[in-house]
Structure 1
C-alpha cells in the first residue's frame, strides 16, 4: 500500500492548556516531508476517549495515515490504544515481548514495577509493535479497512484509491518518540511511499520576508518542483527549496539548480549559508581560516558567547569571552577609558569600539565582537531610546580593513563608524531594535554573530589574495 497523505494527532490535556509546547508535531511533520508523504491537517486533543474517537474517525475519513502521539502510559487516562482497538473492532491482548521488556526496565534500575505498568504491554490484535528503547511504553502500527471510516465526503486531499488506513501510535515524551520514529517507524513508512521530498534552506540575514518575496516572486510562482517558500524568523529569512523525486540524487540536482538561480539575484547580498545558523556559520568559517574569535558583551549578558559555544567544535576557535555589565567591569576587564564613559556613555560607538579592542588584547584572538545597548524596558531616553544597541567588530590590522565591504546586518542597522586604533581595525554598527527586552537581546545576538561572520568572510577573501 502506498501512503499519499497523513495527519498528526497529539493527545494530552497538557498541550491544550499550554503546560508544554507541542514539539512532536513539528518533528513528525519534517520527517513526513522527507518521506514524501503530504499532510494537510494537524490536531491536538485532551485526554477524553469520546472526543479522541471522534477525531480519529474524522482524520481517517480523509487521509491514508494517522500518527497519534501520547496516551500510551500506565494511568487511567491513557486510553489511545483502547480507543483505536475499539474503532478497529479488535480486542486487546498482552504482547509478551513488550511485557518482558517493561519488567527488565524496572529491574535494571532497581525499581518496583506496579501492576498498572503491565497495561502498556496490551496491544490490539494484528498490530505491528515498535519497541521503546528509551522508556516503557511501546508504540504500534495498525492497518484498518477504509470502509470503517468512509463518511461519504469527497475531500480534495484524500487519496480515494486507498482501501486501507494505517494508524501509528507513538509515546508522548519527545525523546522516546524521536528514537522510536528514527529506528522503527521511518523504515516502516519508507516501504510505503513511492517518492521522497528533499528540502534545502537558504539562510538570509538583514532582509525582510516581504522584500525577499518581492525579488523572487516570479521564480516562486513559476517553480512547482522544486517549490520555493519564504519563512520569517528573528531578523532572518529562510527560503525553503523543496524537491520531489524518486531518488535523493534527483532531488539534490533539482534543489541545486534552484539555489543557483536564487543566488544570482540581489538576495545573495544577505546570504550566509545552506541549512545552517549564524553561530554555526561563524564557527565553520573561523575553523576554515584557522582564526580565533572572542566576545565582549554588556546588554546581552553572554548570550553571544553562549550561542557560539553551543556549536560542537567551537573550542577550536573560541577560547573565551567577557561579560562586562557594569561600567566598572568595562574599565577593569576591557580597559574602557574613564573619559569615554564620561563623555559618551556606556551605550555609544566609542565604548563599543573600546570593548572590542579590549577583548582582543585580553584574549589574543584575531577578531572580536562587542555588544552594548539598552535592552529595556527602562533605561532609555530621548537621545538614547530603548532598543538602541551598538555592535563593534575589531580585528588585527589588515585582516579585514575594508569599510565599503558589505556587512550582514539587521534592516534597522547601519555602519556608523570605521577607524583604526592600536594597530586594530574597528567597525561599529548602530542598531535600533523595538519590542520586548527579550527580542532586543535576541536581535542583538544575531546581529553580533552576523557582523562577526562578515569580518571572517572578508578575512577569508584577503587570505585568497
Structure 2
C-alpha cells in the first residue's frame, strides 16, 4: 500500500518555515510498513493544489495532506479535496460545538469571528477526526479505492492527532498489522553501534531491525508484522533480548516516548538524589532540557549560568588561581565548577559545562568546539574533554547531550 505526502502552504515554499511535518509523517509511515515514493509541497493556490491532489491519487492509494485547514480564505485544502472527490461541504454540528468549546476554555470567546466557523464545514461522507489541541479537525475521505487524509499544519496538532487516530486507522487497512519497539542507546557512536548488530541486520526477516542516528544517540527500531500485537510481541522478544545482551546499560530506554533527560530524572528519583547545573557556553540549555521533564522539580535544586570568570568565582567558588593558570575553558575549571555548584546548591549531583561554542573566541591551543564537562556525584568529580566541529548551535547541543550522557554513566556506576 502506497502513501503520498502533500504539504500545503506558501510559507513552506518561500522558506519562511521549516517543513518538519513531512519528515515526521514520512518516518511514521515507514514505521507502519507503508511505502512512500513521492512527496510534494504546494502553495495556497486552488488550481495547483487540485492538480497535485489528482496526480497523487492517480499513483498512490492514500494521500496525506498537511496544512491549509485554517479559517482564512487562503486555506483551501478541504475545499479543493472535496471538489476532487465530488463532495459538497456541510456544517458539522459536532465540530462547531468543539470549536466553541475550545474558545470558551482558552478564554478567547470574544475573539470568535465568522470565518472561524469555516472550520466546522466538512465534506459529505468524511470521517471527522477531533482535534484535541486546536480548532481544525482532521478529515478522512474515502472513495473508489482511494483515500485522502487531511491534517492540520501546526506540529503540536498534527503529531498527537496522527498518533491517536491516524496511525491506528492506517494500521487497520493492512492485512497484517505492523508493531514496533524502539531501543535507545547512548554512549556509543553510530558506526560502532551498527557494527555490533550487523549480523542481526543481515539475517533479519520478521522482525526487522533498523538503526536511526540521533544527536548523541542511536535508536534501533525492532518491527514485526503480525495479525495482532501479542503475536508481534512474541516475534520481537528474542531480538529485544539479544539487543539487551549486547548493549546492556548503554540502553537508556525501550520506550519510544521517553527522552534521555526523562530517563535521567527517573534515575535520580530512583536513587533519591538531587541535581544542579553550572553552565557557561550552554547558557541554560542544559538546565532547560532537564526542567522540560514533568516532575523534574522533585530532583532539580537550582542552576547557575556563570558566563564570566567573576561569576564562576563568586557563585561557584572556582579559585582565581585556577582561572589564571588554566583558563575558564579547562579540565580544572570544569571540575571546580561541578564541585562548587553541588556545594552551593546543597545537591547530591552537579553538571558543569565550559567551552568555546564559536564562531569566535577560539585559539590554536583552544579551538572553537573545545568543551569541558564536569560531573559531581556524591563527592566524586569526573571531567571530560570534547571537541565538536559544528556551528555554535550544534556545539551547544552536543555539549548538552554529552553532559547528560556523562551524568547517566556516573549515576549508574554510583
Q: TM-score, normalised by structure 1?
A: 0.79
Q: In structure 2, which of residues 377, 382, 389 is the aligned counterpart of residue 427 of structure 1? A: 382
Count of residue correspondences: 408
| Contact 1:294/1:369 (8 A) holds in 2 | yes
User: Counterparts of 1:56-67 in structure 2 under 5 Å?
Assistant: 56-67=53-64
User: Counterparts of 1:203-218 in structure 2 under 5 Å?
Assistant: 203-218=184-199
User: Secondary structure, in 3 states, of the residue corresponding to 2:360?
Assistant: coil
Match of 2:69 in 1: 72
User: Secondary structure, in 3 states, of the residue corresponding to 2:7?
Assistant: strand
Structure 1 pair 174–269 and aligned structure 2 pair: CA distance change class (3 A): closer
| Contact 1:36/1:195 (8 A) holds in 2 | no
Q: In structure 1, which of residues 207, 219, 232 is the aligned counterpart of residue 200 of structure 2? A: 219
Structure 1 pair 134–352 and aligned structure 2 pair: CA distance change class (3 A): closer
Runs (5+) with no aligned partner, structure 1: 146-163, 397-423, 460-465
Match of 2:397 in 1: 442
Bigger Rg, structure 1 or 2: 1
- Shifted more, 48-57 versus 186-195: the winner is 186-195
The answer to whether residue 18 in structure 2 is matched with residue 18 in structure 1 is: no
Runs (5+) with no aligned partner, structure 2: none
Structure 1 pair 189–324 and aligned structure 2 pair: CA distance change class (3 A): same
Q: In structure 1, which of residues 42, 46, 50 is the aligned counterpart of residue 43 of structure 2? A: 46
- Shifted more, 270-279 versus 429-438: the winner is 270-279
Deviation at 1:331, TM superposition (A): 1.0
| Contact 2:3/2:35 (8 A) holds in 1 | yes
Match of 1:141 in 2: 140
Structure 1 pair 75–231 and aligned structure 2 pair: CA distance change class (3 A): same
**TM-align CA RMSD:** 2.8
The answer to whether residue 360 in structure 2 is matched with residue 389 in structure 1 is: no
User: Secondary structure, in 3 states, of the residue corresponding to 2:382?
Assistant: strand
| Contact 1:299/1:372 (8 A) holds in 2 | yes
Q: In structure 1, which of residues 269, 272, 283 is the aligned counterpart of residue 252 of structure 2? A: 272
Q: In structure 1, which of residues 332, 337, 349 is the aligned counterpart of residue 319 of structure 2? A: 337
Structure 1 pair 379–56 and aligned structure 2 pair: CA distance change class (3 A): same
| Contact 1:390/1:430 (8 A) holds in 2 | yes
Deviation at 1:14, TM superposition (A): 1.2
CA distance in 2, matches of 1:446, 1:180: 29
Structure 1 pair 186–230 and aligned structure 2 pair: CA distance change class (3 A): closer
CA distance in 2, matches of 1:65, 1:386: 48
User: Counterparts of 1:373-384 in structure 2 under 5 Å?
Assistant: 373-384=355-366
Deviation at 1:333, TM superposition (A): 1.1
Deviation at 1:5, TM superposition (A): 3.3
- Shifted more, 380-389 versus 64-73: the winner is 64-73
User: Counterparts of 1:135-284 in structure 2 under 5 Å?
Assistant: 135-145=134-144, 164-178=145-159, 180-181=161-162, 185=166, 188-189=169-170, 191-265=172-246, 267-268=247-248, 270-274=250-254, 275=256, 276-284=258-266
The answer to whether residue 363 in structure 2 is matched with residue 366 in structure 1 is: no
